[in-house]
Every structure is written in structure tokens, then in C-alpha cells.
Amino acid sequence: MVTIASTGGSQDFGDLSVAANNNAGNCSATRGVFTLGSSPSSSLNIIEYVTISTLGNSTNFGELDVVTTHRAGGCCSPTRGVIMGGYDASTYRDYMDYITIPTEGNAVDWGTSLAGGRLNVQGCSNAHGGL
């Protein structure tokens, strides 16, 4: 992590529960939430979070709705995070799940609104719920 208002270097924030890459992220002003995309040996369906104002390891948030996936994308408002697309085994996913950022819990299916399966999906949002 870095303190944006300083010119200093980075420091260790904490660790995930398992080594993972190809993660998707969401956040509010107080919490950073991310799906763990894949470990060195398999795809994962784990969702974890950190409290942004404190250093420390991630904590279990819940699980994705149905599938394990990696290389998905995320976008969010201050209260809702959306995880979309990605890849699982040999399938490009067209699904979208959502989470409620202030509370812990499993993701909920939000449908298959993507126009076909997508990989490396990117998202953006504003502070007024621009999902």
C-alpha cells in the first residue's frame, strides 16, 4: 500500500488467504472487496475483503454465486459491487453476480446481461451508483 499524500515508498498491507491472481475488485470508502480468481493449481470462487483504514490480512467475505472464475471484472457503487465475465475451465462467462459491500455474504446472481462470454472485463463507476 502507499499513502497517496506522501512521497514515500510502499509498504506491506497484508496477505490473502491463498496465493491468487486474475482477481476482480470492488470497494467502498471503507472496504476493499475482491474475488480470488485463480491459485497456481485451480480456479477459485472465494470473495475476501480488507478494511482500507487498517493494515492486515484479508478476511472471508463469501463466495461467488455459481461458478469459479478468473480474469473477471468488477465495478461498484458505495454499496453494491458487480463481478462480471471471466473464464472457467474452457468457458468464457457471460454472467454477472453482485454483492452488498457493507455486509458480508455470498454473491447473488444478477443474470447474464453481457453480450456473450467475456474475458478480462473492465468496469468503472461513480459515487452515485453508476453500475
State pLDDT tens for residues 70-118. Answer: 788 888 888 999 888 887 777 788 888 899 999 999 999 887 766 766 7
Is 72 a member of any domain? yes
Compute the distance between CA of residue 80 and CA of residue 77 in angstroms, rounded to an integer. 5
The torsion angles phi and psi of 60, rounded to 5 degrees, stand at -60, 130
Give the residues across from 38 on adjacent strands.
21, 43
Is 115 a member of any domain? no
For 104, the domain range is: 24-109
Is 63 a member of any domain? yes
Compute the distance between CA of residue 80 and CA of residue 60 in angstroms, rounded to an integer. 17
Is 105 a member of any domain? yes
Number of domain units in the chain? 1
Is 17 a member of any domain? no
CA-atom Rg of the chain in angstroms = 15
Is 79 a member of any domain? yes
Each residue of 38-63: pLDDT tens digit? 776 677 788 999 998 999 999 999 99
Give the residues across from 106 on adjacent strands.
none
